[in-house]
Amino acid sequence: MTDTDDLPRPRPLSMQINISNMIPEESRGAPWYSDGNVVLMSEDTAFKVFKGLIAQHSPKLRDKIENRACEHIDGCPAIVLDDATTDLAHFLGVIHGCDSLRPFRLATKNDFLTLSGILRLATKYEARTIRQRALVPLTKVYPSTLSQWDEAFESNSLLWVLDAVTTVNIARELGALCLLPAALAFLANSTTSREAFGVGIFQTQPLRFAPGLLKTEDVKALSLMKEYNQSTIARTLRFLREQGKERHSLCQRAAEGCCSSKFTGLFVALSVLVATAEGPVGYPTFAIRVQDVVGREDLCGDCRDRVEVGLNRRRRAWWKGLPEAIGFSGWDDERLVVPSCTS
């Protein structure tokens, strides 16, 4: 922090104050309370709110108001903040709202942008409870447990390629690192290398997001995650190939019609799929396809059960290793601890 950070900021030139030293209606944002006792100004908009409510949620913002308010407007001390108007409006709306216990919505892209702004200011002004509440819906989309991942993936709530990139950047910017492993896993699963890194060879259609949007350290992390996905796919294929080498002692069928030959066919078909697919085949998508293909095969009960146990074991191992793939010590790394709203 520099010495100038503690100095009062000048009122924006676009913020018009009438002759009675009042904020005209066209410059009033929401929330605006006629009986409020402090005016916060951002860009070309002012908000008249209550210091007491602000103090309950953010002592840091309260102190900033008390130390830097430099003029009286609308009969109240006033301060200029350098935050985006939309972010400040949403943040103040949460502080002054009646829905302090209701979960934040995360159903649309606009919900995501609103939530990002709230999280940004809650982090900046150390509004701990609001920050924790804002992280909750994001941790449901990009979770830290395999069961939550399955639920989100199956409900299609992860089909946000652009927002996965934005989430990674927000996680880095705001110290919400608990979102990184799942967000990068989804991004690695759902984008081709060309889309992720901006390689323009044989480009026939616009990219779904701009190359270079990820920060340098996360371009590297995404590369590591894609490599981890591919190595997990290779291990799964080797497991299936091993099942086809000879008849298993538990196979319920005679030698000439045993299940081993079917596993050889599965290995070949899935290898071709990975090698020739036009779209990205990351491990999560691959695992679903393997389960689907195995489910359609005419296998004896013992062989089916044995292979499904092996596939599930490898899927759990993939999830367990996600944090380590991008430089964390594991899901119990203190940097990945998911905050609790009650702490």
Question: Which tens digits make up the pLDDT trace of 24-68?
Answer: 888 899 999 999 999 999 988 999 999 999 999 999 999 999 888
| 277 has pLDDT over 70 | no
In terms of DSSP bridges, do strands 76-80 and 45-49 run parallel, antiparallel, or are they unpaired? unpaired
Predicted confidence at residue 181, as pLDDT, reads 95
| 294 has pLDDT over 50 | yes
Pair (73, 114) in one structural domain: no
Number of neighbouring beta carbons within 10 Å of residue 299: 23
Q: How far, in Å, are 146, 215, 217, 324 from residue 329 at the CA level?
A: 17, 22, 17, 5
Confidence of residue 266 (pLDDT cuts 50, 70, 90): confident
Look at residue 300 and tell me if it is in a domain. yes
Range scoring the smallest mean pLDDT among 110-114, 130-134, 149-153: 149-153
Look at residue 264 and tell me if it is in a domain. yes
- Of 90 and 167, more confident: 90
Give the count of domains, the chain.
3
Q: How far, in Å, are 257, 299, 300, 304 from residue 295 at the CA level?
A: 18, 9, 11, 8
Look at residue 176 and tell me if it is in a domain. yes
In terms of DSSP bridges, do strands 45-49 and 28-32 run parallel, antiparallel, or are they unpaired? parallel
Pair (78, 119) in one structural domain: no
Distance CA 229, CA 236 (A): 11
Residue 180 lies in domain: 109-198
Query: The pTM is what?
Result: 0.79
Q: Final residue of a domain: which of 96, 125, 141?
A: 96
Confidence of residue 327 (pLDDT cuts 50, 70, 90): very high
Pair (62, 132) in one structural domain: no
Instruction: Supply angle C-alpha 11, 13, 19, rounded to 5.
Output: 80
Predicted confidence at residue 151, as pLDDT, reads 84
Average pLDDT, the chain: 81
| 186 has pLDDT over 90 | no
- Of 242 and 256, more confident: 242
Pair (74, 113) in one structural domain: no
Q: Final residue of a domain: which of 48, 75, 96?
A: 96
- Of 26 and 19, more confident: 26
Pair (238, 317) in one structural domain: yes
Number of neighbouring beta carbons within 10 Å of residue 146: 17
Look at residue 331 and tell me if it is in a domain. no
Look at residue 18 and tell me if it is in a domain. yes
Pair (255, 313) in one structural domain: yes
Range scoring the smallest mean pLDDT among 10-24, 98-112, 270-284: 10-24
Look at residue 220 and tell me if it is in a domain. no
